[in-house]
A and B are shown apart, each in its own frame.
Chain A
């Protein structure tokens, strides 16, 4: 008898008990039912047929049984819980936001470590990957030209790599991410080389520099371009520590080349940059190969969109990248191409100006790190808020995120001010060593450095605000908004910078950066206002 009860799990039930049993079972499966037909389908799916409905439940058909089950269930779900907040939606608590801030702000700062490592290397060893304390102005001009050209030429590709890699990695599709990287690099590398050939050809027709200087600039341009591209891949793939490792290793090679092998600065730096490129490239190749093999993604037939479609989907990102990096260096090019003393060549490095810009760059690094937090916070809050917000109160949903946005602006302002002050007084405090270290004395010797620092720092506050807006636009797949903001900003930067540097004094090229950044901030800010006012729409249409 015991075995019998073990084998047969169910005991004889009354029709009423059976009915309640069905109600419970349906509730367990579907919760609040959609309709009596949905209940009927569910009842059938648990093995109750018309014949059972009649025999076991006294209903002519499953549909009749379902009607009553539906009614019973609806009684259980009637009187919905009124959510307390009638209008405003609480997006999250402060402690959680603070934890996120600490986490993502630190992550944002991590990205600047390669740059900081170069400053430290200069201070300790006098060398970095493409800097040397003892470069003369001619050398500095050539290398600065190569560096700026590398950023401008690769800027578009860097942005496209970032976009494609985050898209495919977001889908955990490493196979296509890797394919996309290869496709972009196959375009970017020839593009850089053709551009170099073009610049050399141009210099032959219009001799801006002696050929030797051009050759030097072009070598740096090519190497730095390739380094930026390989770093862009690592950055987009979330492998930021490897960027630091490759930069440190490259720097070590430079020091070794100079101190041990006596190869001279150029050869040492070239080998250093090449080492860095090799480390980054080998790493990302292995990274993707391992990911693809582990996840067996090579087994599926997958392909990237056709060239035409890829171009169409990415050209805005490309133009943005190009404009952004051009924007960053416009003031330098304008300042270095004019002055009371006519520069010997078309672009001539100005040390006090560059020091001011580098100084301001520290404040930019400290400020820009906050963006990582802002975008992560937004992404984390948006879906839970949508699930919580009542449709009838949709405008309050938008309003809540507008508040979140305003909070981000305030946070950005606070961080900017603190960053500028910390940077200013932090660097200024080095003056106590000025008697021991003559380079420090030289650093503070020229008032132009101070002037440029302040102007650039102010410009960067607006620039970072524009970047904040742009990040929101990119997240919601609206690159056109970024496009609309950066192009006029670049034009204004060029125009105002040109006029000021020529009419007032060369260092006032930085005014172009300020006014350009304000333009960027204003246009993107205006669009962001619209964006947050209709966030529901922009979220819907982000496909």
Chain B
């Protein structure tokens, strides 16, 4: 048996290893904890080319494939550093108008059809995505995407498509802007189609079901590489929220972007061997985008329970009933409701204090609104913004209980960290919080200060209940939400995927345009072999 460790191609976007945040922390823990068992190639999509690693990478991170989507004239210089640029120029030279017309344009036409009907047959969509990737392994991405024929095709397809719509019902009209920026987005967002996949990769692991996961689709087709996708939030749900809220983006531009994301997500779910949301709350959205229920295996995030362990309250909070919140101050955390709940609690427990630890820089306007509300409700002595704290493991032990009033969440670390510190949590019942807190905390309706205040009063006034729930919370965290358990679940998944027979999907392609392009490429392969 070979000593070679399996290689996981770990697909990220805007997170590990170049940016901080929850997903990055999770990624770093996973890579570090599996240092002995697994080697990782990180395939990282970023907005800007100018980024640097924020983490001390473990020795098992063997390679970083960096794909900057914006701000660079020749992205290939970043994502394919092993190939000399002169080879790319050669590739560019052989990307003739005729090749594009004969072999890429038909595939592109099919792709545009899929874009207009993102809920079209997902096998068809996946075949087309693979066909495009295969083409770009032999022909230049930039030259092809700048080809006037493609632009013409895209433009006329939009005109045809939109002329069929009842624009009165849609409520807007497509503009030239939508077309120009729509096609530019295709160029930028589909850049992963140009990125070669290292042959030696054994598994792909996408940290979201979005554009970087294109690599997992094509690896499955080309090499039969099994893949897992972890849904921290649900990519499409977040996309719908974020794109929908873009104020400066016209309607049809939003539509195009959402449709593009939809077809990619569906193809990712279709080709993935396992879909692992971090909470069962995500499942209903995954199913909406046709994730096969049999493939869905939730894996919870874990924390270091030796680090987040119960200690007694420090001197400065010992004699005061204290409620701790760990949250960046911005609207999604609904700090206003938290402040209102504090005012209600104060009526029953006059010396109660709430301390919110977390950045005050995310939305300064909102912070100001919150501060004004604190003053207005005469809570200056009861409600405090503690700002950033450099020892997160100490925060929860400052309080008797913790609180979270978010209106939207995935599976927040702050809840399980507090549980691990034996501090029961009063939290809104959104996202995956219920998975963590059921039976060991108090769940409330969001935006209901009275209900939240009742929960806080109950726990602060009833010491026995507080201790009982605290112990249960710690037990539940130790049982379900430890780093070891979470990492082991992924290791088991990797081993399980490795044990499966490889299913190379390229032999099952049925889309005519793709078959045609593949045949041409196969015939010409010897000419371009390095």
Chain A residues within CB distance 8 Å of chain B: 3, 6-10, 29-35, 37-38, 41-42, 44-49, 51-52, 63, 74, 76-80, 171, 300-303, 305-306, 308-309, 312-313, 383, 385-392, 394, 397, 534, 536-537, 539-541, 543
Contacts and interface: CB of A to CB of B under 8 A. Distances in A.
A63 B287 CA distance: 13
A308 B87 CA distance: 11
Interface in B227-247: 237-238, 240-241, 243-245
A51 B408 CA distance: 15
B159 A391 contact: yes
Interface string B218-260: 0000000000000000000110110111000011101100100
B176 interface: yes
A7 B343 contact: yes
Given A6-B377, A47-B447, A30 B407 contact: no
A390 B158 CA distance: 12
A383 B176 CA distance: 10
B334 A536 contact: no
A533 to B, nearest CB: 12
B148 A534 contact: yes
B231 to A, nearest CB: 14
A55 to B, nearest CB: 9
Nearest to B188: A543
B340 A7 contact: yes
A543 B184 contact: yes
B168 A45 contact: no
A47 B174 contact: no
Q: How large is the interface on B (under 10, 10 to 19, 20 to 34, 35 or more residues)?
A: 35 or more
Contacts of A309: 73-74, 77, 85
Interface string B46-77: 00001110000000000000000001111001
B84 interface: yes
Contact of B240 (A42, A74, A77, A305): A42
B89 A312 contact: yes
Contacts of A78: 168-169, 171
Contacts of A389: 175-177
A386 B175 contact: yes
Contacts of B499: none
Given A80-B171, A541-B146, 5 more contacts: A34-B255, A38-B258, A42-B241, A387-B176, A391-B173
Contact of B183 (A6, A31, A540): A540
B153 to A, nearest CB: 12
Contacts of B151: 536-537, 540-541
Contacts of B237: 41, 44
Nearest to B77: A309
A8 B447 CA distance: 10
A34 B169 contact: no
Contacts of B168: 78-80
B415 interface: no
20 contacts: A6-B377, A37-B288, A42-B241, A44-B430, A45-B332, A47-B430, A80-B173, A301-B51, A305-B72, A312-B74, A385-B176, A386-B175, A390-B173, A391-B176, A392-B163, A394-B159, A536-B151, A539-B180, A541-B151, A543-B184
A391 B174 contact: yes
Contacts, number: 174
A77 B171 contact: yes
B446 interface: yes
Interface string B365-399: 00000000000110000000000000000000000
A41 B347 CA distance: 36
Contacts of A77: 170-172
A30 B174 contact: no
Given A30-B245, A41-B241, A391-B176, A543 B171 contact: no
Given A77-B171, A301-B51, A8 B74 contact: no
A49 B288 contact: no
Contacts of A313: 73-74
B178 interface: yes
Q: Which 6 A-B pairs have the closest CB atoms?
A: A77-B171, A47-B446, A47-B407, A386-B177, A30-B244, A301-B52
A399 to B, nearest CB: 12
A51 B429 CA distance: 10
A78 B347 CA distance: 50
Contacts of B344: 7-8
A8 to B, nearest CB: 6
A166 to B, nearest CB: 14
B3 to A, nearest CB: 35
Contact of A397 (B173, B176, B254): B176
Contact of B428 (A47, A63, A80): A47
A9 B343 CA distance: 12
A393 to B, nearest CB: 8
A302 B18 CA distance: 13
A49 B429 contact: yes
A30 B254 CA distance: 10
Contact of B179 (A29, A32, A42, A394): A394
B449 interface: yes
B383 to A, nearest CB: 12
B155 interface: yes
Given A6-B377, A44-B408, A305 B73 contact: yes
Contacts of A52: 445
Nearest to A63: B288
Contacts of A10: 447
- Pick the most buried of B155, B177, B255: most chain A CB atoms within 10 A of its CB: B177
B245 A34 contact: no
Contacts of B245: 29-30, 42
B120 interface: no
Contacts of B241: 38, 41-42, 45
Given A392-B159, A540-B180, A312 B175 contact: no
A34 B258 contact: yes
